[in-house]
Amino acid sequence: MQDKITIAILGASGYTGAELIRLLLAHPHARIALLTGDSQAGKPIGEVYPHLAAKGLPDLVSLEQAQYAGIDLVFCCLPHGTTQTVIAGLPAHVRIIDLSADFRLADPKQYAAWYGHAHQALALQKEAVYGLSEIARAAIAKARLVANPGCYPTCALLPLIPLLKSHVIRGEGIVIDAKSGVSGAGRAARQANLFTEIDGGVSAYGIAAHRHTPEIEQALALAAGSEVALTFTPHLMPMSRGMLATIYVQLAEKNTADDLRKLLLAAYAKEPFVHILPQGIAPATQQVRGTNDCVMNVFADRIPGRAIIVSAIDNLVKGASGQAVQNMNLMFGFEETIGLQLTSLFP
């Protein structure tokens, strides 16, 4: 195990890049040596994010200026569609954690159908490991390229995968109703994300067409051992960060909601970041704000044969940068919780 690893963050001027910097600054085994941000190239990171000033960080450079000699790990926080060619051009000695969607879907045809263009790095796609930390530890530890899961998939898959693996719920009829803070839409200036546009309102988007749908179905099909088709609707909430998923499932055989809860308690009993709340307590985004935690619980539906699962994460931490650091720890043999032992910010 290396005592210190040298890190590059591509796309460091976005929210996930800034959150990575925040977490890595407190990591005893991490040294940030390279930050890119094409639209902000040449600027100190403190000029883009004042809270990161005076931290001894390198200035932002363009991707063309980036040099990778001595770099052990690259975090790629670039938009989907641009990441494939960038990662394909990285030197063979670096390991990579990609926070975009470019390597999450195993089937190139499915990627092309959902993202509107052919995959540009098919050889790399074959070696990419889907990095849901609690589910794929062994594969992540050996991987050169980890596809960091999306925020909505993380929030939904952590409760659903153990239940489908144990066949206590049915693979059909799953409904995921999810809400996210506005940071999930990125930092680029968009009219729909202005304070006056979102304040005081809630809106659904990507209805029946959100690109996280095939990512969720892919992981659930592996867990269930058969195809899973679900209904997924995301909503934008007037808050900066946080994510909550309310998931409706059909019980299999004579299972009850309490059986589901007991199974999740057993599945995650030794997990540092996944917590099943006490009976009857509903998860809320305030419980996980600024942390790498996922909190969940199970409730009986008033309709016989159904149950309701509620799951909450911070979309920028467990849903993105925190899980990326967790995967980094796994890849380099560090204690999994290092740099992530965070208590929720409240209020």
- The residues that are catalytic are 151
- Partners of residue 308 on adjacent β-strands: 248, 299
Note the helical H segments in the chain.
Answer: 15-24, 45-48, 83-88, 108-115, 122-127, 137-142, 151-165, 195-198, 212-224, 257-267, 322-332
Instruction: Name residue 119's amino acid.
Output: H
| Alpha-carbon gap, residue 161 to 135, rounded angstroms | 8
Letter string b/e over residues 279-294, b meaning 16 or more CB atoms within 10 A of that residue's CB: eeeebebebbbbbbbb
- Partners of residue 236 on adjacent β-strands: 180, 203
| Alpha-carbon gap, residue 170 to 47, rounded angstroms | 51
The count of residues in the chain is 347
Angle between helices 212-224 and 108-115 (to 10 degrees): 150
| Alpha-carbon gap, residue 314 to 164, rounded angstroms | 24
